[in-house]
Structure 1
Amino acid sequence: MAELDPATRYKLLVNTVHPRPIAWIVSTGSGGMVNAAPYSFFNAMGGTPPLVAIGIGADDVRAGEARKDSLRNILDTEEFTIALVGEDQAEAMVLTAADAPADASEAKAVGVALVPSSLVAPPRIADAPVAFECRLWRFVETHDRGGIVIGEVLATHIDDRFVGDEDGRLRIDAPAMKLVGRAHGAGWYWRGSDRTKIDRVRWPLED
């Protein structure tokens, strides 16, 4: 990998590590400007403390911008929200990935409805199946313009349609959320409608 150019290394990763869940991040910048942008180098990293991690690269598209707005805002305020993306929100999510200037609100331009969060200043996306309110836990700077944001989840919001109870235990109807994830190649996404079940086993293994 060290002998390859950055674009080739990136292509090798994004075309093999998939499907990748999408973190639709809402953050606030100076003056209260609300930024919304999706990132697919994302996953949950533990339950105690409840952590999520997002890889945010450099801004190589907008002239004069070194860091992406999301990263700059998160480092400045140490707060953000994450929405998981359902099929119904997929097109709006893609629109917010446009290279908008720092003084523009993608959510407002696209018409994405926002609601106030309960514990952090940035709002959250109203119609997302799931949303997390997060506080910056650690930032791992992997290069001078980007790195890995590790956030602690302070609150979780799940649409009531997907929450249930079975014998006194919490049950989440994950398939009903119809979440989408990034696939290989530009513009391609996975849907979670095709599943297979393979039960785990205990040691020692049986013949």
Structure 2
Amino acid sequence: MSKANLDLSKAKVTKFTELDEPKWVQTNLIKFIDPQGKERDWECCSRKTRVEGSDCDGVGIIAILEKPSGPEIVLQKQFRPPVEGVCIEFPAGLLDPNETLETCAERELLEETGYIGKAIKSSPVIFNDPGFCNTNLKLVHVNVDLSDPCNKNPEPQLEENEFIESFTVSLANFQKQLEEFAAQGYKIDARVQNVSDGIELAKKYQL
């Protein structure tokens, strides 16, 4: 079956099993001293995939398409087993050895969406859920030149085990569209919602 005809809603979780020796993640018991000098325990999860020598796991990608009808942001749909549903996310990916975060962002955008872009700036390292895990990333802004013939009909270069549907949403209707997705049962990635909320705050306070 062509990936172009895949129905993401058909994906589903069939079983949860506790692993004795996980391949990609590990659980840890942390001993720490609290602000009052008392020793405490904390359970957490961490990746086994972080590139040696790096303080960052990977990137989330903010790519804006400047169309005549108005700017649109690139998003994607992907089934995520831990939440048992299809998530609305930014293009994203993990850092490869000997790769800069900017190069990682450009590579992942091409692989997942087909767009060729140029990284122009990035956020500080941000943490996804610091009370639970040490997973982190940088949000990298990637400029996509729509006048480039290569970006006229972008073709994703997905790996065999990747099932991703890329699409765009008007920035003017970003928040409303996310609300509609949530009402339809999609899971909204926190980073996507946070960017949308930032846009709404900027509008409200005329920043």
Instruction: Tell me the TM-score normalized by structure 1.
Output: 0.27
Higher share of residues assigned helix: 2
TM-score (norm: length of structure 2) = 0.27
